[in-house]
Structure 1
Amino acid sequence: MLQQLFSPSVLHTLDLIGIFVFAISGALLAVRKNFDIFGIAVLAEVTALGGGLFRDLVIGAVPPAAFTDLGYFITPLFAAVLVFFLHPHVERIQAGVNVFDAAGLGLFCVVGTTKAYDYGLGLTASACLGLATAVGGGVLRDVLANEVPSLLRWDRDLYAVPAIVGATLTVLCLRLDVLNAVTSTVAVVTAFVLRLLAMRYHWRAPRAWHRRSTVSEE
């Protein structure tokens, strides 16, 4: 179905762009954690490919795309080298990186959902794997860097929710048999815009109702 929505070359290019931006975020965190060049490369690879690798293993798309397309493996390494030498400059354009990261989030939640559905999963399971595709790499990145994953922290702007919305719109289109290039683009853009608005206005998910915790907030 993915090939019916977009040409293979367009889909491949979009994938590489999303992978590159996710890899940048992983490499920047590695620099902040004072990792060496190997650690920077590992965090870049894991952040960029972790979500898609998890999805492919679950749906049985083996060997995963990350191991059959050299571009998928080389792109995070290029991002790691770029950050290794130019991280002060990359840090200064962090706002721009965040915009592309939001675009990657929107793209991957829709692509992941559609691919899972293509492999025979139900609508709910497909949406869950779409979410995992979009945020899985970031979770692995934070775990390896010994941090609480960003999507679990109340003091971080909404990240998983836009991906959930994008994946949900995708499965609704699949259910109604109206998924095409236009509707899938709408789902991508919706998730993208929600993430941008969350960053702009610092939207956060609510915590427990009538929370009464004596634990100090970090």
Structure 2
Amino acid sequence: MNAEPPPLLLALDLTGTFAFGLNGALTAVRAARLDIVGVVTLGMVTALGGGIIRDILIDSLPPATFSDWRYLAVAAASGLVAYGLGRRLDRLAGPIIVFDALGLSLFAVTGASKALDFRLGIGQAIILGAITAVGGGTLRDVLIRRIPTVLYSELYAIPALIAATITAVTISTGVYGIPAAIGAAAVCFVVRLVGVRFGLNAPGPPGAYGGGPGSADRR
């Protein structure tokens, strides 16, 4: 069984789980128009998918999702909240993207932290931080038959890599703590929202037709 994670890691992980769960469930309410089972399922997949992939890759078995009831409870609760309040939340300005950015930020930090706890190198920790951050959202998009956001959207993987790098470097240099963790997550959050606000994207192939998914349909 997995040992009890450090309090900071657990708090960030559960917060990220709730944020990503809301994001996935609200996506189901707004875009996929699923019933209560579909809404809660999509929320839980979004919230837990990245962490499960990470734990399998670092051989942390069973994954924290299945060894700690709090992850399943928080993920299910976020789905139910979105189902019950989805229409009200939908009236707020951009709730889906805000929850997505929050979950992305927190999971990038916790993913890199856990990788280093398992004595992996800085490079591996950065990669696993990014996988933890984008894994759930990728599964969400596949389930609703949408091109995964990580493949095209406004600086999605890049801010996750930045936060994971900050986390890995601060832990390796012995200065990691609550301020560093919050700072790394804040950088990711801001970069992601700036990318969305101004439509920034990573460079595509020279001469390629831009515009993201569906752009080919507008030719």
Tell me the TM-score normalized by structure 1. 0.85
The alignment status of 1:127 with 2:126, answered yes or no, reads yes
| 2:27 match | 29
Kept after mapping to 2: 8 A contact 1:21/1:97: no
CA distance in 2, matches of 1:82, 1:207: 38
- What amino acid does structure 2 have at the position aligned with 1:112? G
Paired with 1:72 and 1:50, the residues of 2 have a C-alpha distance of 11
Q: Could you say what secondary structure the match of 2:216 adopts?
A: coil
Q: Which runs of 4+ in 1 moved over 4 A?
A: none
Whether 2:187 is the aligned partner of 1:190: answer yes
Identity of aligned residues (%): 39
Aligned CA distance change for structure 1 residues 147 and 82 (closer, same or farther; 3 Å)? same
Report how many aligned residue pairs link the two structures: 210
Deviation at 1:57?
1.1
Q: Deviations over 1:22-44 (max 9, x none)?
A: 11111122222122222212111
Cα distance per residue 1:119-171 (max 9 Å; x no partner): 12221111110001111000011111111101112xx3221110011112223
Aligned to 1:58: 57
Cα 1:73/1:212, change in 2 over 3 Å: closer
* CA shift for structure 1 position 21: 1.4
Distance in 1 separating the partners of 2:83 and 2:182: 34
Residue aligning to 2:155: 158
The separation in 1 between residues aligned to 2:9 and 2:79, in whole angstroms, is 23
Q: What 5-or-longer segments of structure 2 have no aligned partner? A: none
Partner of 2:176: 179
CA–CA distance in structure 2, aligned partners of residues 13 and 117 of structure 1: 17
The answer on 1:209 being equivalent to 2:194 is: no
Q: Partners of 2:148 and 2:126 in 1: how far apart?
A: 20
* C-alpha RMSD over aligned residues: 2.4
Which residue of the other structure, out of 13, 18, 23, is the alignment partner of 1:15? 13
Alignment of 1:14-163 (within 5 A): 14-31=12-29, 32-153=31-152, 156-163=153-160
Q: Output the CA distance in 1 between the equivalents of 2:40 and 2:182.
A: 31
Tell me: CA distance 1:12–1:150, structure 2 relative to 1, closer, same or farther (3 Å): same
| TM-score normalised by structure 2 residue count | 0.85
